[in-house]
Amino acid sequence: MKVVLFGAGGQVGSSLLELFRDDFDWVCPQKQQFGGDLLYPEAVYRYLLCEQPEAIVNAAAFTAVDKAPRYLCEAQTVNAEAPALMAQAASELGAYFVHLSTDYVFNGNGEKAWKESDQKNPVNAYGKTKAKGEDLVLKHDSQALILRLSWLQAPGHLNFVSSFCKRLQEQSEVFVVTDQCGSPTSARDVAEVINLLLSKDKNGTPLHGIYHFANQGFCSRYECAQYILRVLKEAGISWASNKNIVRAKTADYLSSEPRPLNCRLDTQKLCSQLSIAPRAWQEALGATLKHYCQEIQ
């Protein structure tokens, strides 16, 4: 099965190739190549028509939340216009399209986990471009699958885990917010879900529409940071000793863009369809930290 993968160097893309390189015929256009730069959607569209894949996975995105307002045209092109033409190409080719999205399409109010049917109402430019991308994907390809994710993490990439660890090395006290809640989610676990989705399509039983995936359970950013620090100390990482985490609120930070506070995702729909039970976020994050500790020791 020939699969074109956009974002092969990202957290999910690299996990897909690491775990399932031999399971599919992966074609991974690079940004500097024709059809690989999502800032040129028409080229992406022509590239896909030329390659004629049986499936397309879009794991690429403009994810710099605070830069999105300043580079709105670029964010809109990468997160909405390029996926729209991927979807159009998929529809014309009869290819299965898996497009990755985010919990940031919601406003983050309340404490209930977001369901796929809940109304989108993003609070920042990044979320608005991703929400628009979802709308355009389904407009151009009603058979596409949109997979929303939350708090993605993987070793060797820029994310909350790596950023927090860097701050721990440089500071004796690290301020972390207590009012943002979600599920730290392993990119490897996401890759396993995508593998199942592609396999179902290959077997003639594809899923379509919008689905949520995250590791099981919820925590605040502060609780996540506490867990990370505890694991680092237990692993004997010298610079982790005598460090303190200080409680803070999102409103304490002068961020150019608001952040949704409630990033919980309800995953029952996908788990039921795929007959899966996601790992607890602690187990998934622990696996990432084990890899991280091995690298720095």
What is the tens place of the pLDDT at every residue in 225-263?
999 999 999 999 999 999 999 999 999 887 779 999 999
Q: ∠ CA(239), CA(245), CA(248), 5° rounding?
A: 150
What is the rounded radius of gyration, in angstroms, for the C-alpha atoms of the chain? 19
Catalytic residue status for 126? yes
Q: How far is 3 from 26, CA to CA, in rounded Å?
A: 5
pLDDT at 196 over 80: yes
Locus of tokens 């796929």: 116
Neighbours of 247 (CB within 10 A): 12
**Average of pLDDT values for 128-152?**
98
pLDDT at 165 over 80: yes
Q: How far is 293 from 183, CA to CA, in rounded Å?
A: 21
Q: ∠ CA(245), CA(246), CA(250), 5° rounding?
A: 120
Q: Are strands 181-182 and 219-220 parallel, antiparallel or unpaired?
A: antiparallel
In percent, the amount of the chain with pLDDT more than 70 equals: 100
pTM listed for this prediction: 0.97
**Average of pLDDT values for 126-132?**
98
Domains of the chain: 2-150+187-215+265-279 (3.40.50.720)
**Average of pLDDT values for 171-187?**
97
Q: What is the pLDDT of residue 254?
A: 76
Over residues 10-43, the pLDDT tens digits come to: 999 999 999 999 999 999 999 888 899 999 999 9
Q: What is the pLDDT of residue 293?
A: 86
Q: How far is 273 from 203, CA to CA, in rounded Å?
A: 15
Q: Which residues of 268-279 are buried (b: 16+ CB within 10 A; e: fewer)?
A: ebbbeebeeebb
Q: What is the pLDDT of residue 135?
A: 98
Catalytic residue among 104, 126, 211, 222: 126
Q: What is the pLDDT of residue 258?
A: 93
Over residues 41-55, the pLDDT tens digits come to: 999 999 999 999 999
Q: What is the pLDDT of residue 99?
A: 98
Q: How far is 239 from 37, CA to CA, in rounded Å?
A: 40
Determine the distance from the C-alpha atom of residue 297 to the mean position of all C-alpha atoms in its chain, rounded to a whole number: 28
pLDDT at 282 over 70: yes
Count of positions (residues) in the chain: 297
Do residues 130 and 65 lie in contact, with contact meaning Cβ atoms separated by under 8 Å? no
Residue 297 pLDDT grade (very low, low, confident, very high; cuts 50, 70, 90): low
Q: How far is 178 from 13, CA to CA, in rounded Å?
A: 30
**Average of pLDDT values for 135-150?**
98
Torsion of CA 83, 85, 87, 89, to 10 degrees: -140
In percent, the amount of the chain with pLDDT more than 90 equals: 94
Q: What is the pLDDT of residue 292?
A: 86
Q: Where are the beta strands (DSSP E) in the chain?
A: 2-6, 25-27, 55-58, 96-102, 145-149, 152-153, 173-177, 181-182, 185-186, 209-212, 219-220, 244-248
